[in-house]
Structure 1
Amino acid sequence: MLPAEVRYLDVFWSDPETVIKLVSSRDAIEFEQTPSGWKGETTTFPSTHHFIGVRVTDAKVEHTPYILAPNGNRQELRAVKQPGGDEVWWIQSDVWDQENKRWLSELYRTAGRVELIVQGQPLILENNTFNFTVAELEYYLADFKNSLWMLILDNNSPAKAGINKEAPDVFDNEVLGLLNSFIESVEKIVKKPGMVLSETQQKLPLRAVRPVPRTFREYATQPSTKLLSSRSFYESYDTSENRFIHYCIQRVLYVIRSLSKVAAAQERSYAQRIQQEIEWRDKLQATDTKKVDSRVYDNEIAKIEADLDELNQNLSKTVSKRCQKPFERRAERHGTYSIQLGASYRSSKTSFFANRLNGDDFRERYGTYLVVNFPCFDDFSLINSKLGGAELSVTGIYGKHRSFNSNGSEYFELTFYEVESVSIVKHPLLAKLSELIEHREELEKQAWIVPLTWEEAKDRRIERDVSTKKTLFYESLQNKMSDFLASIPTIQKRLTKVCSFFQGHKVKVRSDCPNTMVFVQNPSYASAKALFNRVTTLNGLDESVLNSLMVIDEVGLVNVASLYEKWCLIQIIKVLHQIYNFDIADGWERILVKAVLENSYNVEVKLSSSGRQQSIVLTYEKVLESGKRPDFVIDLISKRYVEPTKEKPQWSFEGEHQSRIVLDAKFRGDISEQHLSRLVDELYYDKNYSEDNNNQVFVIHPSPNVIEDRTSPLIWGTQCDYGQSNEKNHNIGSIFVSPSLTHSQSIENLQRLIGLFLQNNTAILYDKSTHILSWHNSACISCGNGDFSAIDMQYSPTAGGNERWAITCKVCSLITVKTVCATCRKSLFKNGPKWTYHRTMAEQTSNVVCPNCDTFL
């Protein structure tokens, strides 16, 4: 059992021995038991001065907790007692800072591995550093709170990153009118408040005295006094009804302040998005040339060289295996042939048709076919399948002869009894490699600047149109927020004045409404109560949710890694709900607030889209069958559609199928690409988040520009790995999503990933024989539009007869081209320069690379 709990602490001192105030983070740091002890991860911030605190949970402290250095030295921790309480925390303290009156702790400010010994057990802390400033941390926490408020208030699927949506109803004139009506009601109460008369005693002039026993005693002892104690009465507004109204006023004031904060944050967010869209549009419009990324170009060369080297190595390994089985030999000769192998002969693993021999088309020259046999190999078919039409130079002992097939037709056989060497003479990759290397010299002379291709120019025009529409949309939302904010100060001032009246008259607060006739007979009280109920049930709010939001608003010091998880949870829900238009099941607000406030497992948020005939179960901290708990699991449930037949001429479906993507939030700073790659591999393979290669697994992290060995020239190339290269098939990778001030647009990386997941699970019910499109559930990856009537689907097969769809969004104008890889039949999506997630060629960004087989189209 873990002998202690570990939390972040903020400690205020008056002197080295006296603590004025101690604040602990809401969430404790999680530990897992390993063979070497308990292990937990923390996040350090060099620019802040908090502490990592240890509190022993056993009844008795067996020894002073200490840090065990690698050389065996011990550093005992300092005991810190909670003022006014009994809790004792242990912190590391190095040097007393007299000027700022605080102990400095390197444990909180330095990255590395630290071993604590608590109750005789080792607690290993792995400190991950992050260079957030205090201002950025405060913004991060504020953004989390505002995002939570906005998501809960945004109950009507408003304001997606698309067009023709409305701003949240809570920020319109109707709500302002509702607030004004409530204020008018309580202002009427203040003008004529309910009250009770209470008896008291006070000193009055002799003429006005209404005597009590004390009056006679005073007069007997002081007959000449001018003031005597007298019975008196005073008006008290501290009634049960006024206590409830006071409570209502405080609650509405809290809602108004919260709406003001959220609206201000939204206004700033829209201003930032407008600026980003303008910059993106100007960048697209600035020139008809582009700069080719030399790193991506060189990686293409390296990739082709590696593929060729792998092919040659596999060929060499095959040759190195000597024949162990006897076979009949005929007229042996020694020599070399140049051969291009074709399909397998009679499903054999060692016999193949030869398309070309010594550079000539064999059938064209000899009028028949040639079969090449490799009886000395166990299996040559796997290697042949990867040769891709290569011409091989084969040297060894061979025999050749005529044969006749079952139809009596003559053909030839070439049999290699022993193979001394095999090498690639011609291959499409060799030609491509030679072309790239030769062209590289030209690019260097041109400083890597080249004209845009026709297709790239077209993609940029489309993306500019999308950006222009989004800019106009964000401007309308910003104006709406500005109008709302302009009305708030007057409303807040009026209600604050009313609240001051109740506070000045010492009216207490009561949360439950008293069952009295006042709220029936007095119109002002009745109106105030009714309007309060309407205000506190705006768009998904209720008393329970409001109470929880007030608790969350009080959160100060936090476990930042835990906060990042919950912030990511909100962003995922926002993308699914606000961008891709999945409706959330009733009661989700309480579920979400519970996930934020409690350390619960298997917290499910259910979403659905009747138009797409799909549903989603988003699970926070889902416990897999292996017992592991990834942060987020998204299960997408879709129909299994059945093509029409003569018996059933209509499309139908039989059952459902589930697709799963697993996301894990890792709050890391100064992380390298290699470290991130190892982390992703650990989750996918070692912890088996993939559940035996069945799930996609991605890490979400807040470290920008972590990709150094980039394979994509697109805007996300230094920030994300969508599993677009090395035949990962988008099954494993990482994306950059940050809550920082400077990277607010990084949420698009998450939108792109979820769009990838959804696009690969779309259905297009098209009958090629009749050319009738019955239905589809495609959605625009840019704005989320999934309206069947607002998406234009045009089918036009490629020259090779492969499927090709041009999917045009009528809302934002984005054109997505869906096709298939000619080599492996993998579905591919070209979403333009901003939303494409496949690998593309460095010089031709409109030319995508298959993520499954790494074949360039």
Structure 2
Amino acid sequence: MGNANFELKYIETRWHDKSTLLEVNESLYSISIDEISNEIFEVQTTIYPKVVELNRSQFAISYTSQNVNIPPVIVLADGNTIPLKRIVNPESKKVWWIEHGAWDKKNKSWSTSTHKTAGKIIFKIGKQTLYLNINLVDASKEDLDKYLVDFKSGMWELILDENSYILGEAKQEEVGVVDESVLKIVDTALTHAKNILKKPKSELREVQIQKPYKEVKPVPRTFMELVTKGNARSLTSRGSEPNYNVPENGYVLYSLISMQRIVSQLCRVSRSKIERLKNNLQSLEERLFDLKDFKTINRDLVVKDYKKAVAEQDINAINAKIRRDLISVNGCELSQGYEWYIRITKKNKYGAYFCLFLLNNEWVPYGGCDFSSINLSEKYENLFLEYTDYRIFADISYQIVGNGNIAILSLNSLSVIEIIGNPGWLVRKQEKLEKMKQEAILLSKNGWKKYLTKQELDEQAKERSSIINRKEYFNKQHKNISYVATFLTPKEKQLRDIIKHLFSLGVKPLATFPNSMTFVQNPSYQAIHASYNKLKNQVGLTDEDVLMSLERIDNIGLVDITVLYERWCLLQLIKSFRQNFRFEPEISWKRKLLKILENKLFNEPIKFINQNSRRNILLSYEPRLENGKTPDFVLDLISENKAGGFTKKRVVFDAKFYSQAFMVKRGGISGVVKELALDKNYSEDERNAVFIFHPVTEALKDAGGPVSPQGWGNVSYLGELKLFDWDNC
């Protein structure tokens, strides 16, 4: 346990009511504590929320000295605190501190989030700090780390991106570059920090110490000792000792801590970029390998498309679906009206359809008129197709206008409908099906290889040249970033060692720059101040609030995996806009992003612009729709057409992180999408497209396997098939 003034255990409590504790069962072993420093400790633990027998267990803290009654607190991400509840074991009288939670009257227990939440919780226990890292068996440490590490790396990479701009509203844009100059800055700071440690600035502080009586410089206590002790060998005397906790050293320590944090994140970002560049290079190699004079066709997808085309031209299946739709429209199966044979042609400008009726094996206008049209009504219009012949049982009324030349009919009710004959659109489907069949036969004979045309070969040559150029670019980037990572990693450890040494001298960090001649007269103190400012300028962290925001987010506590996943998705959207679709963010995007990550109530949109495509994107996090609903993300897509006008489309996304069992209870992927789009009305009366982000392979399986020959088709489902048709959850 070392210097920790507390011990940790899981305990089970039994209550008579919320004020009367009956029993405390303590675990046999205390939780192992890792000591980071004298005041900072870390714990790794695992919770099992699905194990019913452990539902009453909870994380508990006990001071090693039972006389201490300062409540430990949970430190939230925004700096607020939640005090723990004091309980006393009725049998041993030992005092424990637990999360207060909410009282569960039915089960007579206190329900707590620490039993259900994976991630990190920060406790302040007296003057000491405890970081509790909780692993959830339902979402393993590896699963959580995948998002947690990628989220933090992605956040720092976006902010420290050397190709982006630091955004100060009233400042000139400065490009932050991680290059040789950054390495020199860090090296210079380390050299001068070591010089400072050799002879740090100090002040002599008067203290009282025991000295031989001949060397004593008396204080009032000295005379008291002479009266009470007589001729003692040593007496209390004035003395002095160096005090290193001076403003100059405090500022140096603060600067070195900030530099160490920046360097640490640069190392993290470098490692992340190295991994991404390796993946990019591997992908380019695979693309080069695939560039041949033929394309390999996925037989399974061809078969799937063929079966789908067969179903689409099956008149019996089509009529069966129309009958089901009719019953759904009517609400029941009707048997009324007269039998009609009607041919629907094109729609006129009044919203009705020109039509003909079968009379003596000939299609003619109704009632001997020159023209006839029928109003199908909104209720039945979707059941009919243009240029199609039908047999129906219906109640139809009519009127003759235009001096008896025009018959206008109205469909009042419909009880039976079926397509007859062979309409033109069906003939085209049959021709397409036959063409698909012949192409499939030819592909089968060629081993499912489709040889390229001359034009395709020319385009492929251009693509090969482009890939080679991109490989050279990525290889150069990979070499440079690897050099940065190799150089900075050991420097970061040296900075930590120097910081630890300054702490051991009793120095406390001071953020305010002291107005002292030391920074004029002493070149090492001056160099630390200059190096810190140069490093901030070089990486684009010229404003302290940006760095502080990054650090607060990086140490986010009480992480609920759904919130973490939401914010991870937000970063993926931004990275996709910038890296894949070449959208440039607005000037203040970084500050907006940090405010979003710090405070979910901030919902001012971030604007992205692509001048080449003349498209803009407004990305909002948890905005309030007109109907009062608040989805996770809203994308307002604004595009300019050739005439100079603008078209606006809205896409709504919601991030979900359900277990498979919970997803099934919600009706599967389709049930969740339907709930969001229709029940919660994220579609705003079907005006918006609604999607969800969800890391589950079942959607792909239920979709019938890959639905695209593209590489992402093996791991992603983007709704290529009609919604809800595939999902049988």
* Residue in structure 2 matching 1:709, options 674, 698, 703: 703
Distance 1:625 1:126 in 2: 34
Cα offsets for 1:596-649 (capped at 9, x unmatched): 23342535333445666554321111111222111001123445764xxxxxxx
* Residue in structure 2 matching 1:698, options 691, 695, 709: 691
The alpha-carbon distance between structure 1 residues 256 and 687, as it changes in their structure 2 partners (threshold 3 A), is same
Q: Aligned partner of 1:627: which letter? A: G
Distance 1:420 1:534 in 2: 79
The alpha-carbon distance between structure 1 residues 423 and 243, as it changes in their structure 2 partners (threshold 3 A), is same
Number of the residue aligned with 2:578: 577
Number of the residue aligned with 1:300: 308
Number of the residue aligned with 2:188: 181
- What is the 5 A alignment of 1:599-614? 599-600=600-601, 602-609=603-610, 614=615
Distance 2:594 2:373 in 1: 64
1:451 aligns with 2:450: yes
The alpha-carbon distance between structure 1 residues 345 and 498, as it changes in their structure 2 partners (threshold 3 A), is closer
Pairs aligned (count): 594
CA contact (8 A) 1:345 1:371 kept: no
> 1:674 Cα deviation (Å)?
7.0
1:143 aligns with 2:150: yes
Q: Aligned partner of 1:661: which letter? A: V
> 1:704 Cα deviation (Å)?
3.0
Distance 1:80 1:130 in 2: 16
> 1:193 Cα deviation (Å)?
3.0
SS in 1 for 2:574: helix
Q: Aligned partner of 1:154: which letter? A: D
Cα offsets for 1:834-856 (capped at 9, x unmatched): xxxxxxxxxxxxxxxxxxxxxxx
Q: Aligned partner of 1:431: which letter? A: Q
Distance 2:182 2:608 in 1: 27
The alpha-carbon distance between structure 1 residues 681 and 432, as it changes in their structure 2 partners (threshold 3 A), is farther
CA contact (8 A) 1:665 1:700 kept: yes
Cα offsets for 1:357-387 (capped at 9, x unmatched): 99xxx9xxxxxxx855489994579989975
CA contact (8 A) 2:49 2:116 kept: no
* Residue in structure 2 matching 1:17, options 26, 36, 43: 26
Cα offsets for 1:758-787 (capped at 9, x unmatched): xxxxxxxxxxxxxxxxxxxxxxxxxxxxxx
The alpha-carbon distance between structure 1 residues 695 and 434, as it changes in their structure 2 partners (threshold 3 A), is closer
Cα offsets for 1:807-838 (capped at 9, x unmatched): xxxxxxxxxxxxxxxxxxxxxxxxxxxxxxxx
CA contact (8 A) 2:250 2:507 kept: yes
1:87 aligns with 2:84: yes
Q: Aligned partner of 1:87: which letter? A: L
Distance 2:452 2:229 in 1: 110
Cα offsets for 1:641-687 (capped at 9, x unmatched): 64xxxxxxxxxx46x55321111111134357971122212222221
1:194 aligns with 2:191: no
The alpha-carbon distance between structure 1 residues 712 and 236, as it changes in their structure 2 partners (threshold 3 A), is closer
Structure (1 or 2) with the greater helix fraction? 2
Q: Aligned partner of 1:181: which letter? A: T
Distance 2:710 2:503 in 1: 60
Q: Aligned partner of 2:506: which letter? A: K
CA contact (8 A) 2:610 2:616 kept: yes
SS in 1 for 2:157: helix
Identity %: 25
> 1:148 Cα deviation (Å)?
0.7
Q: Aligned partner of 2:575: which letter? A: K
Distance 2:604 2:228 in 1: 77
- What is the 5 A alignment of 1:581-592? 581-592=582-593
* Residue in structure 1 matching 2:243, options 215, 221, 236: 236
CA contact (8 A) 1:245 1:528 kept: yes
1:684 aligns with 2:681: no
Structure 2: runs of 5+ lacking an equivalent: 1-7, 13-24, 34-44, 63-70, 73-82, 88-103, 119-135, 166-174, 328-333, 394-401, 410-415
CA contact (8 A) 1:289 1:450 kept: yes
* 576-585 vs 436-445, which moves further: 436-445
CA contact (8 A) 1:635 1:659 kept: yes
1:264 aligns with 2:271: yes
Number of the residue aligned with 2:653: 663
Distance 1:264 1:532 in 2: 23
1:624 aligns with 2:625: yes
> 1:439 Cα deviation (Å)?
4.9
Give the structure-2-normalised TM-score: 0.66
Give the structure-1-normalised TM-score: 0.57
- What is the 5 A alignment of 1:121-160? 132-154=139-161, 156-157=163-164
CA contact (8 A) 2:391 2:420 kept: yes
The alpha-carbon distance between structure 1 residues 296 and 89, as it changes in their structure 2 partners (threshold 3 A), is farther
The alpha-carbon distance between structure 1 residues 308 and 180, as it changes in their structure 2 partners (threshold 3 A), is farther
- What is the 5 A alignment of 1:373-452? 373=366, 378-379=374-375, 423-425=420-422, 427-432=426-431, 435=434, 439=438, 442=441, 449-452=448-451
SS in 2 for 1:625: coil
- What is the 5 A alignment of 1:738-749? none
CA contact (8 A) 1:308 1:429 kept: no
* 146-155 vs 316-325, which moves further: 316-325
Cα offsets for 1:23-60 (capped at 9, x unmatched): 9xxxxxxxxxxxxxxxxxxxxxxxx942559xxxxxxx
Cα offsets for 1:72-124 (capped at 9, x unmatched): xx99845654545463599xxxxxxxxxxxxxxxxxxxxxxxx995799999x
Distance 2:108 2:147 in 1: 36
Distance 1:324 1:723 in 2: 41
SS in 2 for 1:235: strand
> 1:484 Cα deviation (Å)?
0.2
> 1:544 Cα deviation (Å)?
2.1
Distance 1:576 1:421 in 2: 48
1:486 aligns with 2:486: yes
Distance 2:429 2:586 in 1: 55
SS in 2 for 1:171: coil
Distance 1:511 1:530 in 2: 15
> 1:571 Cα deviation (Å)?
1.2
Q: Aligned partner of 2:218: which letter? A: V
> 1:242 Cα deviation (Å)?
0.9
> 1:181 Cα deviation (Å)?
3.0
> 1:310 Cα deviation (Å)?
3.0
Number of the residue aligned with 1:212: 218
Distance 1:465 1:78 in 2: 63
CA contact (8 A) 1:722 1:733 kept: no
Cα offsets for 1:397-456 (capped at 9, x unmatched): xxxxxxxx99xxxx9x9x9xxx99851335325524752785599489769834345487
Distance 1:384 1:625 in 2: 29
Q: Aligned partner of 1:149: which letter? A: W
The alpha-carbon distance between structure 1 residues 577 and 374, as it changes in their structure 2 partners (threshold 3 A), is farther
Number of the residue aligned with 2:15: none
The alpha-carbon distance between structure 1 residues 595 and 299, as it changes in their structure 2 partners (threshold 3 A), is farther
Number of the residue aligned with 1:760: none
Distance 2:231 2:293 in 1: 100
- What is the 5 A alignment of 1:165-180? 169-180=176-187
The alpha-carbon distance between structure 1 residues 595 and 250, as it changes in their structure 2 partners (threshold 3 A), is same
Q: Aligned partner of 2:241: which letter? A: Y
* 311-320 vs 236-245, which moves further: 311-320
SS in 1 for 2:274: helix
The alpha-carbon distance between structure 1 residues 611 and 541, as it changes in their structure 2 partners (threshold 3 A), is farther
Distance 1:277 1:527 in 2: 45
The alpha-carbon distance between structure 1 residues 353 and 347, as it changes in their structure 2 partners (threshold 3 A), is farther
